[in-house]
């Protein structure tokens, strides 16, 4: 299997001829392939209201809540699909969904 530059694919720099056969790609590659461009609303965290309960981190179906130092949380906008589950489960309403 020829080395495939996944970053090029992620940038849209490819044709059907240059894509790897049947999408067989050297791992790990999913980090390069951003999947958030179908998001309509994005979650925004108001850090002053956050009590670091990590419910959003547990519930996010796309592992798009990143845990930082001391239990702080942040949204990974490269992969967040904007489903709003984090905002729904946040007990202090620290997360608001805002239009892109």
Partner 1 sequence: MSKLEYVRKMALMGDEAVAYAVKQADVDVIAAYPITPQTIIVERLSKYVADGELNASFIQAESEHSALSICIGSALAGARTFTSTASQGLALMHEVLYIASSMRAPIVMAIANRALNSPLNIHCDHSDIMGARDTGWIHLFANNVQQAYDLTLMAFKISEDPDLLIPVSVNLDGFILTHSIEPLEVLLDEEVHQFIPHEPYPHEIDFGNPLAYGVMALPDTYMEFKRQFQEAMLKVPEVFHKTTREFYTISGRTYKSLTSYFTEDAEAVVIALGSTVETLKYVARKFREKNIKVGVLGLTMYRPFPEKEIVKVLENVRCIAVLDRAYSYGGVGGPLYTDILASLYKNGMKPIVADFVYGLGGRDFKLTDSEEIFRKMMKAIECNGFERDIYWWGVKE
Binding site residues, ligand SF4, CB under 6 A? 43, 45, 50-56, 60, 62, 64-65, 73, 75, 80-86, 90, 92, 94-95
Q: What is the DSSP secondary structure assignment for residue 78, as one 8-state letter? A: T
Are the C-beta atoms of residues 32 and 7 closer than 8 Å to each other? yes
Q: Which two tokens stand for residue 93?
A: 């309403």
Q: Is 29 in the site for partner 1 (CB under 8 A)?
A: yes
Q: What is the C-alpha to C-alpha distance for residues 62 and 44, in angstroms, rounded to an integer?
A: 16
Q: Using CB under 8 A, pick the residue from 7, 13, 31, 35 that binds partner 1.
A: 35
Radius of gyration of the chain, Cα coordinates, nearest whole angstrom = 17
Q: Would you give the distance in Å from CA 60 to the centre of its chain?
A: 10
Q: How far is the CB of 1 from partner 1 (least distance, A)?
A: 6
Task: Please name the residue that has the structure tokens 């049947």.
Answer: 22
* CB closer to ligand SF4 out of 4 and 95: 95
* CB closer to partner 1 out of 1 and 68: 1
Q: Residues in the site for partner 1, rule: CB under 8 A?
A: 1, 9, 12, 14-17, 19, 21-30, 33, 35, 37-38
């Amino acid at each position: 299997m020829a080395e495939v530059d996944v970053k090029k694919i992620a940038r849209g720099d490819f044709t059907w001829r240059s894509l790897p056969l049947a999408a067989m790609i050297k791992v790990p590659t999913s980090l390069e392939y951003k999947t958030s461009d179908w998001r309509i609303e994005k979650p925004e965290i108001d850090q002053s209201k956050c009590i670091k309960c990590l419910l959003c981190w547990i519930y996010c179906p796309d592992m798009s809540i990143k845990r930082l130092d001391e239990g702080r949380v942040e949204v990974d906008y490269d992969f967040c699909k904007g489903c709003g589950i984090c905002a729904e489960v946040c007990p202090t309403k620290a997360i608001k969904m805002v239009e892109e």
